[in-house]
Amino acid sequence: MLTLVQENPLVRISGLTKRFKEVTALDDITIDFPKGEIIGLLGENGSGKTTLLKVLAGLYMEYGGAAEIDGDKPSHITKAKVSYLPDKVRFANEKTPEEVIEFYRTYFDDFSEEKCRELLQRFGLEAEKPFKEMSKGMVEKVQLSLVMARKARLYLLDEPIGGVDGNAREVVMDAILDNFDPESSMIVVTHQIHEMERLFDRVVVLKEGRIVGSGICEELIEKYGKPLEEIVRGM
């Protein structure tokens, strides 16, 4: 077991284990995430990345060990502190971003309608356009706008540029950086390490449900003298 403990973290995980029948998705993980950082949560498919995000998002309530966000166990309490972008975004085809904005405005006290509209405009999206007329990448940018328009303590982004074409990816990453609150933390799951590494302060690498590596990005690159993607793939 690799243990990574810090002083006064925003997220504290201790001995976290999550099983699905015969599969152990997370295997006795102990790690802390500090505030003020964007952390890349990396690893191959099936390594446990999305499972960890769903535990922190309060979507999986049954597990071994412990997880805390700002001192509270993931639950309806922490959902008010956590802004979560799932890996698969679903909106009713006939709905529009305008209608979803109204839902977020009434459901989340920390949601900024003004910021959301600014982000939609930045992405070149129309609030009155039905989702059925949008591409996968456009829908993902709507969801990211909603997520980043909240003043959350913890942001969880699962493959935020997965469906976004190459030309728009830099715009998305700039928007993430420009709207990140240094009093919060952000955990980003991605396979696009080379393209997204400029976001990350540090990375945590999972393999078969266990932490196999972690470190501050600049220190890792200086230590190994390789691009971050090569370092991660060698862990």
pLDDT along the chain (235 residues), means of 10: 62 96 94 94 94 96 95 90 89 92 93 95 94 91 94 94 80 89 93 91 96 94 92 89
pLDDT at 10: 93
- The CA distance from 70 to 12, in Å, is 8
pLDDT of residue 1: 43
Distance CA 112, CA 103 (A): 12
What Rg do the C-alpha atoms of the chain give, in angstroms?
18
Set out the domains of the chain in order of their start, with CATH numbers.
Answer: 3-233 (3.40.50.300)
pLDDT at 161: 84
d(C-alpha 64, C-alpha 131), whole Å: 39
Q: Given this model, what pLDDT does residue 7 score?
A: 61
Is this structure's pTM higher than 0.85?
yes
Structure tokens at 173: 């990453």
CB neighbourhood size of 99 (10 A): 15
Task: Write down the residue that tokens 């696009």 correspond to.
Answer: 192
